[in-house]
């Protein structure tokens, strides 16, 4: 199979000349092809078959031990003008970037097969969807992209019809961190990634295309590409409202997207539309409409258990690719928090498990599974128009400071609330874990251009519509002095979402505070919740002196953006400071 699209044909030939593969395989995305490639992956050891009885069609992939998470320090945005990438990104010029990375691609596929994967991000018939083509020499990437995107024939047909597509070139190279780079050329709609097989670095449709390149496209075309889950919340009266929420990696998106209402909240239902990425467009009705560009979930395994996320656990017992989890004696996948009665015998590196040597599953071990396997999958997941968003929720992991929930005064203040998100780092990226860092809109690793221009773009929506969603901030991760979480989280988070939707409907009460509107303890439904009144009080109060320090930190952070900073964010910050000072 080749293509009628001459630009695509020429690019594939050009890449083949550079990388010198033994064979070229154009993927059609069929079941037969998937089965055939699976057999090859089993033969090469890229995948290991798990217990056929308990986990039919489930496979384990072990990545190189130095290649287990996104590598932000090796990720670049290559724009003509350095300012366009902004202080939030690593930058080198496009000419230098191509030179440097092409020298690594030179001959890198010798002895290997080069796979050409046409894919579509978003429902194939959606005007909001966008296509790309990834060229890769990794079977794990091919098989994962088949799960995570609409990959194959239909995508190629759309590319041939529309003409445009994002180009992504990937090779695992020699997996050496010294020769690992993830480069983006937004002006050319191009991605080049070498030296890593890790999902976020190698499944180019996901972070590289659907966030970094798409955020750039979205700016010039008037929409938003965001690191957000999309969830439908159905109340006991049967009314469903959609919420989009941006939390940094490993801070609870997949869990919230698949939440199971607590037994004490009968009649509520939760419908999953997406768990990681949302593309948001203004509809003719002035509302923000969201699609999930992905077709699968690439979720964090540790912590996924029968109490925390049974919906996820239940979808993982067939047709799932696991990466870097442990294995039980009878070849079932295992990770911390999965199931108390099972024990791991092999760790994520493939060695006999020794508890002294660390966890059995890597803290950033993952599952890759088709969205249709999710019991709570929304019937609107495939809707070409997407779903209308009532509330945007920002959040992060903050042991201290950030209350359980607060509401922004209006859209502009909401942009400040998003821009001021900070969160403790997690195992989803290499580097120290548990360090608070600024992560605006949970997009620090993913915004494909200057954050200041991005905030200006966000602020601009206020001029275009008066029906924008309300904006909120949540924190499920407050801790006591002993490092215990003081909010039960998971299913109980629905109580907070109930208040949020009540605010959108105009039925829930709030008190005004310097940082925004907050529920008084009596405004939050805590019926049958096993929690002390003091704890609720602590979760719903703010410490003005600590917040004053936080505002100083936000100011110092914004100062890095110099003249690019939109005036409106400084004004919002000043308004907050004045309100706080009145309380001190
Ligand atoms: P994502 O990477 O943003 O999709 O985050 P996940 O939903 O996969 O969650 C990452 C980790 O945080 C997992 O170990 C979860 O068990 C844990 N987690 C998710 N939601 C909560 C919560 O409400 N409270 C607490 N304490 N942990 C949570
Ligand atoms: P996550 O997705 O947000 O679910 O962790 C992967 C990532 O962000 O690297
Ligand atoms: Mn993510
Ligand atoms: Mn997730």
Structural domain boundaries of the chain?
A: 6-46+71-222, 226-295+380-581, 296-373
| Contact status, residue 142 vs residue 202, Cβ threshold 8 Å | no
Cβ of residue 276 lying under 6 Å from some atom of ligand 2: yes
The secondary structure element, H or E, covering residue 333 is: strand 333-334
Q: Choose among 166, 116, 105: nearest CA to 138.
A: 116
Phi, psi of 468 (to 5 degrees): -70, 155
Distance 360 CA to ligand 2 centre (A): 20
Cβ of residue 493 lying under 6 Å from some atom of ligand 1: yes
Distance 498 CA to ligand 1 centre (A): 19
| Contact status, residue 182 vs residue 201, Cβ threshold 8 Å | yes
Q: Choose among 447, 425, 452, 446: nearest CA to 436.
A: 425
What is 226-295+380-581's CATH topology?
A: Phosphoenolpyruvate Carboxykinase; domain 3 (3.90.228)
No. of H helices and E strands in the chain?
16, 30
Task: State yes or no: ipTM above 0.95.
Answer: yes
Directed axis angle between helix 411-419 and helix 567-583, to 10°? Answer: 90
Distance 283 CA to ligand 3 centre (A): 25
| Contact status, residue 414 vs residue 236, Cβ threshold 8 Å | no
Sequence-ordered list of residues with C-beta below 8 angstroms from that of 53, at least 6 positions apart, any chain: none
Ligand 2 atom having least distance to the Cα of 254: 4
Phi, psi of 49 (to 5 degrees): -75, 135
Cβ of residue 485 lying under 6 Å from some atom of ligand 1: yes
Ligand 2 atom having least distance to the Cα of 426: 5
Ligand 1 atom having least distance to the Cα of 309: 16
Cβ of residue 300 lying under 6 Å from some atom of ligand 2: yes
The reported pLDDT for the residue numbered 1 is: 59
Q: Where are the alpha helices (DSSP H) in 152-193?
A: 153-162
| Contact status, residue 126 vs residue 385, Cβ threshold 8 Å | yes
Residue 559's CB: how many other CB atoms inside 10 A? 10
| Contact status, residue 451 vs residue 215, Cβ threshold 8 Å | no
Q: In angstroms, rounded to a whole number, what is the distance separating the alpha carbons of residues 500 and 213?
A: 31
Q: State the CATH class of domain 296-373.
A: mainly beta
Give, using CA atoms, the residue closest to atom 18 of ligand 1: 252
Radius of gyration, alpha carbons of the chain: 23
Give, using CA atoms, the residue closest to atom 6 of ligand 2: 249
Apex CA 45: angle with CA 41 and CA 49, to 5°?
75
Sequence-ordered list of residues with C-beta below 8 angstroms from that of 280, at least 6 positions apart, any chain: 223, 224, 225, 226, 228, 244, 288, 289, 290, 389
CATH tag, 6-46+71-222: 3.40.449.10
Give, using CA atoms, the residue closest to atom 13 of ligand 1: 303
Q: Annotated active-site positions, please?
A: 251
Cβ of residue 91 lying under 6 Å from some atom of ligand 1: no
The reported pLDDT for the residue numbered 584 is: 82
Q: Order of strands across the sheet with 333-334?
A: 333-334, 326-328, 344-346
Instruction: Please give the C-alpha separations between residue 92 and each of 86, 106, 208, 258, 380, in angstroms, as whole numbers.
Output: 11, 20, 17, 40, 41
Question: Which residues are part of a known binding site for Mn(2+)?
Answer: 207, 227, 276
Top mutation candidate among 226, 298, 367 for ligand 2, by most atoms within 8 Å of CB: 298
Q: In angstroms, rounded to a whole number, what is the distance separating the alpha carbons of residues 582 and 584?
A: 6
Residues of the chain with pLDDT under 50: none
Question: Which residues are part of a known binding site for substrate?
Answer: 70, 198-200, 249, 364-366
Question: Which residues are part of a known binding site?
Answer: 70, 198-200, 207, 227, 249-255, 276, 364-366, 397, 490-493
Distance 440 CA to ligand 4 centre (A): 18
Distance 167 CA to ligand 3 centre (A): 21
Cβ of residue 365 lying under 6 Å from some atom of ligand 1: no
The reported pLDDT for the residue numbered 200 is: 96
DSSP 120: E
Distance 82 CA to ligand 1 centre (A): 36
Give, using CA atoms, the residue closest to atom 8 of ligand 2: 249
Residue 185's CB: how many other CB atoms inside 10 A? 21
């Amino acid at each position: 199979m080749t293509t009628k699209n001459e630009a695509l044909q020429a690019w594939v030939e050009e890449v083949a000349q550079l990388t010198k593969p033994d064979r070229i395989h154009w993927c059609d995305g069929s079941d037969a092809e998937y089965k055939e490639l699976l057999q090859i992956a089993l033969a090469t050891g890229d995948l290991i078959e798990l217990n056929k009885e308990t986990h039919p069609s489930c496979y384990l992939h072990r990545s190189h031990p130095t290649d287990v998470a996104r590598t932000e320090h090796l990720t670049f945005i290559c724009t003509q003008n350095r300012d366009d990438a902004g202080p939030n990104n690593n930058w080198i010029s496009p000419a230098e970037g191509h030179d440097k990375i092409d020298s690594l691609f030179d001959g890198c596929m010798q002895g290997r097969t080069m796979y050409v994967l046409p894919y579509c991000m978003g429902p194939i018939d959606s005007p909001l969807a966008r296509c790309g083509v990834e060229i890769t020499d990794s079977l794990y990437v091919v098989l994962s992209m088949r799960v995570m995107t609409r990959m194959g024939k239909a995508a190629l047909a759309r590319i041939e019809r529309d003409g445009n597509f994002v180009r992504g070139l990937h090779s695992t190279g020699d997996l050496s961190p010294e020769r690992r780079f993830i480069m983006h050329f937004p002006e050319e709609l191009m991605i080049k990634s070498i030296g890593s097989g890790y999902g976020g670095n190698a499944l180019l449709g996901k972070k590289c295309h659907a966030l970094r390149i798409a955020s750039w496209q979205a700016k010039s075309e008037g929409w938003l590409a965001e690191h957000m889950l999309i969830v439908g919340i159905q109340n006991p009266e049967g009314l469903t409202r959609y919420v989009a929420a941006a939390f940094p990696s490993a801070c609870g998106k997949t869990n919230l997207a698949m939440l199971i209402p607590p037994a004490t909240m009968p009649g509520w239902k939760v419908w999953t539309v997406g768990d990681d990425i949302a593309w948001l467009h203004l509809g003719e009705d002035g509302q923000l409409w969201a699609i999930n560009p992905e077709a699968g979930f690439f979720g964090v395994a540790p912590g996924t258990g029968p109490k925390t996320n049974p919906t996820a656990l239940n979808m993982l017992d067939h047709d799932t690719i696991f990466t870097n989890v442990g294995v039980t004696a009878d070849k079932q996948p295992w990770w911390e928090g999965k199931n108390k009665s099972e024990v791991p015998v092999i760790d994520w590196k493939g060695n006999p498990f020794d508890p002294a040597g660390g966890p059995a599953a890597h803290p950033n071990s993952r599952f890759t599974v088709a969205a249709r396997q999710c019991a709570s999958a929304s019937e609107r997941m495939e809707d070409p128009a997407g779903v209308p968003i009532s509330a945007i929720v920002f959040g992060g992991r903050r042991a201290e400071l950030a209350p359980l929930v607060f509401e922004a005064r209006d859209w502009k203040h909401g942009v400040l609330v998003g821009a001021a998100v900070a969160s403790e780092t997690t195992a989803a990226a290499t580097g120290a874990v548990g360090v608070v860092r600024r992560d605006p809109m949970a997009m620090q690793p993913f915004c494909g251009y200057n954050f200041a221009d991005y905030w200006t773009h966000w602020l601009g929506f206020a001029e275009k519509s008066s029906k924008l969603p309300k904006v909120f901030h949540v924190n499920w991760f407050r801790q006591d002095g002993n490092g215990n979480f003081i909010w039960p989280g998971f299913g109980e988070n629905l109580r907070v979402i109930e208040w949020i939707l009540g605010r959108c409907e105009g039925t829930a009460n709030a008190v005004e505070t310097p940082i925004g509107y907050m529920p008084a303890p009596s405004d939050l439904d805590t019926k049958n919740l096993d929690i002390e009144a003091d704890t609720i009080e602590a979760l719903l109060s703010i410490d003005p002196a600590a917040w004053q320090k936080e505002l100083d930190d936000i100011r110092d952070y914004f100062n890095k953006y110099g003249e690019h900073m939109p005036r409106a964010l400084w004004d919002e910050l000043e308004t907050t400071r004045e309100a706080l000072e009145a309380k001190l």
